[in-house]
A = this chain, B = another copy of it.
Amino acid sequence: MQRVTIKDIARLAGVSVTTVSRALNDAPEIHSETRDKVLRVCREQGYRANLLARSLSSSHSNLLGLVVPDMANPFHAALALNIELCAQEAGYQLMLCSSRRDDQRLENLFDFLYSQRVDGILLSSAADGAFALARRCLGQVPCVLLGACPSEDSPLRANTVSVDNYAGGRMAAEYLHSLGHRNVAYLGHRAGSSTHALRHGGFLSAAAELGMSVETVSSPFPSSTIESGSRLAREFLSGPLSQTAVFAVSDAVALGFIQVADELGVAIPDQLSILGFDGIEYAALPNIRLTTLSQNAPRLAQAAVRLMLELIDGGDQGMYTRTLITPTVIRRATCRALEPSEQVPSEC
């Protein structure tokens, strides 16, 4: 039951622990025969270095912390997978944690990762609280915010990588406009999230420029899930329908919406077009074929990890970087072009 340590190996190989350590880290100043002998003994004994001890004494763990709000969410799962991939290439292991949309837990996790002495923390959260957390670790541990994006004018006090939500919002409006839609809804807006604020702002601004009328349906729910999408849909579809298209804040919300529309006999896209946001895998399913704006998880992941590595190597100079990734429209089956005859003028 007692695990074999570097000391045991040293004794068995008839050398000092220093020599064993050198063999393990293939240091240059060691006789190759000595090294081979030591490594052979290690293999025979099934020796595994104690990474706790190693990290403690070398003061770096080769561990990156990643906190996602909800790993059952396919977008975050895909993002995590891509980040793990990039991190591994750079020789880092990931400590993946799920905050489950709980701010208290997010804070606890953050402290935990810090205490665990990860070399850097990636925080995937659009909650405003994430900024405070990121700031708290100034000069303590490199931290990059994923998905969160401070507004252009506020002073940048954190490293961020995110999809360009403002541009995404604009693209959504422009795309719907290009199909002839003039009366549209923005479904699932959530206050207190910088992501949502920007996306909504972009949508409204483009819509205004294009002369579209927008009804914003805000979400009282803490997260943008299928469940919240269907609840919002039930409310939205209960009255008479003046809109011809809906932009949902996430694919999950869009899926929930479609589900209810289906139940209520609202034909999509014939009566109503719906456009999502995220580009999750399940939105591509048969019979769903959700038209959406893809966030491009692999590129987000790569940018975030690359930035993190720079911060770690460069010693986190206290400079801040904002990286924006433009989303892509993925045309599928839930948005249709209105015939000229259908194009009623905007309400307002």
Chain A interface (Cβ < 8 Å from any Cβ of B): 1, 3, 48-53, 55-56, 61, 70-72, 74, 77-78, 80-81, 84, 93-98, 100, 111-112, 114-117, 139-140, 226, 255, 258-263, 281-282, 285-288
| Across-interface contacts of A55 in B (CB, < 8 A) | 52
Q: Is the CB of B287 within 8 A of A262?
A: yes
Task: Given A72-B78, A77-B77, A140-B3, answer yes or no on A117-B285 (Cβ-Cβ < 8 Å).
Answer: no
Q: Is the CB of B81 within 8 A of A72?
A: yes
Closest 6 CB pairs of A and B: A259-B286, A287-B287, A96-B96, A262-B286, A51-B115, A52-B56
| Nearest CB in chain B to that of A259: its residue | B286
Selected from B74, B84, B288, the residue in CB contact (under 8 A) with A74 is: B74
Q: How far does the alpha carbon of A48 sit from the alpha carbon of B100 in the complex, in Å?
A: 23
Selected from B50, B84, B114, the residue in CB contact (under 8 A) with A115 is: B50
Q: Is the CB of A94 within 8 A of B97?
A: yes
| Across-interface contacts of A259 in B (CB, < 8 A) | 285-286
For the complex formed, measure the closest distance between the CB of A240 and the CB atoms of chain B, giving whole angstroms.
22
Q: How far does the alpha carbon of A203 sit from the alpha carbon of B257 in the complex, in Å?
A: 37
Selected from B50, B80, B100, B282, the residue in CB contact (under 8 A) with A285 is: B282
Q: Is the CB of A281 within 8 A of B72?
A: yes
| Nearest CB in chain B to that of A316: its residue | B1
| Nearest CB in chain B to that of A94: its residue | B97
Q: How far does the alpha carbon of A97 sit from the alpha carbon of B85 in the complex, in Å?
A: 11
Q: How far does the alpha carbon of A281 sit from the alpha carbon of B230 in the complex, in Å?
A: 14
| Across-interface contacts of A260 in B (CB, < 8 A) | 286
Interface-central residue, A52, A80, A285, by most chain B CB under 10 Å:
A52
Q: Is the CB of B98 within 8 A of A95?
A: no
Contacts A95-B95, A285-B288 aside, 20 further interface pairs with beta carbons under 8 A come to: A1-B140, A50-B56, A52-B55, A52-B56, A52-B61, A70-B81, A71-B77, A71-B96, A72-B77, A72-B81, A80-B98, A84-B98, A94-B97, A95-B96, A226-B281, A255-B285, A255-B286, A261-B286, A262-B286, A263-B286
Q: Is the CB of B97 within 8 A of A48?
A: no
Q: How far does the alpha carbon of A291 sit from the alpha carbon of B117 in the complex, in Å?
A: 46
| Across-interface contacts of A49 in B (CB, < 8 A) | 115
For the complex formed, measure the closest distance between the CB of A55 and the CB atoms of chain B, giving whole angstroms.
5
Interface-central residue, A72, A111, A140, by most chain B CB under 10 Å:
A72
Q: Is the CB of A51 within 8 A of B287?
A: no
Q: How far does the alpha carbon of A114 sit from the alpha carbon of B84 in the complex, in Å?
A: 19
Interface-central residue, A53, A70, A255, A287, by most chain B CB under 10 Å:
A287
| Across-interface contacts of A70 in B (CB, < 8 A) | 81
| Across-interface contacts of A78 in B (CB, < 8 A) | 72
Q: How far does the alpha carbon of A48 sit from the alpha carbon of B117 in the complex, in Å?
A: 10
| Nearest CB in chain B to that of A287: its residue | B287
Q: Is the CB of A115 within 8 A of B48?
A: yes
| Across-interface contacts of A262 in B (CB, < 8 A) | 286-287
Task: Given A71-B81, A97-B94, answer yes or no on A50-B281 (Cβ-Cβ < 8 Å).
Answer: no
For the complex formed, measure the closest distance between the CB of A286 and the CB atoms of chain B, giving whole angstroms.
4
